[in-house]
Amino acid sequence: MKKIINKPGDFVDEMIEGIVLAHPDQVKIPGDDRRILVRADAPVTGKVGIVTGGGSGHLPLFKGYVGKGLCSGVAIGNVFSSPSSQQCFEATKAVNGGAGVLYLYGNYGGDVFNFDLAADLAELDDIETRTVLGRDDVASQPKERKHERRGVAGIMFAYKAAGAAAERGDSLEQVAAVAEDVVEHTATMGIGLSPTVLPTTGEPSFSLAEGEMEVGIGIHGEPGIHRGPLETADAITDRIIDALVKDLELVPGDRVAVLVNGLGATPLEELYVMYRRAHQVLSEHGLSIEKKYVGEYATSLEMAGASISLLKLDDARLELLNAPASSPFFLEV
C-alpha cells in the first residue's frame, strides 16, 4: 500500500503540526506536549470545558472537533492507540475555565482507563470532571448490553449538543446530562469493504476477500455481525436502517437526524447514493428527517466503507444541533 508519509514514527506529530499551521485561528498547542490541541481561545473563563481523545487515524474524529460550539481540547494517541493519562490531564488543565470539564470520548478500554486516571489527577488539582462515553455502535453489543457498545461516528451528535450547551453557559452537570441524553438516543452501524493499512507496519488491519463485505465492522477493523458477498447500495442501506430503527424503537411521527459517514476511501458520490435510499426508507417509516449530514465525520485511514447514524430528536436536541459551531473540519452557522 502506497502512503504519502515520511518516517512512519513521525506520522502523527507531523499531521498535528500540519493542522495547527493550517488553522492557527481555531486551534493551538497549549504547552510542550505536541499531542494536545485546544481551542485557540482556551480556556474560556466561566464555561465548561469539553475534552475528547483517542487514537489517530480517524480524522476528523477527535482532533477535528476542537472548536467553538464543539470540544475544547483533545488528547491524541498514536494510530489506533490511546493517549496517555498525563496527556488527558494536561488537556484538562489547558481547557479548565473554572466551571469543570466534561470528558466525552468513545467507549474503548484503553481510553477509559487513561481518562479515569486523568480524572483522579484532576481531582487532586481541584478540577471537577464528569465522563460520558460514546456507545452508539449497535453491532458491537445487543441492546440489553448497550452500555458496553463501541463509540463510533454517532459521537459527533454528542459533541455538537454538549458543545452548544457549554457555549450557552450550562453547568457541568447540565452539559454532561445533554451529552448522555444524546448518546442514549443515537445508533450507528457500519459496513466495511476493504481494510486499513497501518503506517507503522504497512500491513492491513484485517483481511476481506475480493467481492466480500462485512456488516457491523468497527473503526479499527473489529469483527462485525455478518460477512458475505457484496450487496447493492440499496440492500446495504436497507439492512442498516432496519437495524437502527428497531434499536431506537422509532415509530411514525418521530423526528431524526441522519449521518451518512465515509470511512476513509469511499467516494462522496457513493455516500449520496446511500443517503438517497436512507431518505426513502425513513420516509416510508413515517419518520421526519430534520437534520442531514453526508461526508467523512469518523474515518479509519483508507478503509473503504460507510456507516449510518440516527439520532432521535426532540425540540431540545434539535435546538442544540442547530446552534453555531466551527472547527477545522466542521461548520454549522
Residues 6+ apart with CB under 8 A from 18: none
Give the residue numbers annotated as catalytic, written as ranges. Answer: 58, 220
CA distance 226 to 139: 10
Question: How does strand 212-215 pair with strand 186-194?
Answer: antiparallel
Residues 6+ apart with CB under 8 A from 216: 137, 138, 139, 140, 189, 190, 191, 223, 224, 225, 226
User: How many Å separate Cα 253 from the centre of its chain?
Assistant: 27
CB contact at 8 A, 57 and 196: yes
Residues 6+ apart with CB under 8 A from 10: none
Residue 293 Cα distances to 124, 188, 263, 268, angstroms: 41, 13, 14, 12
CA distance 103 to 179: 10
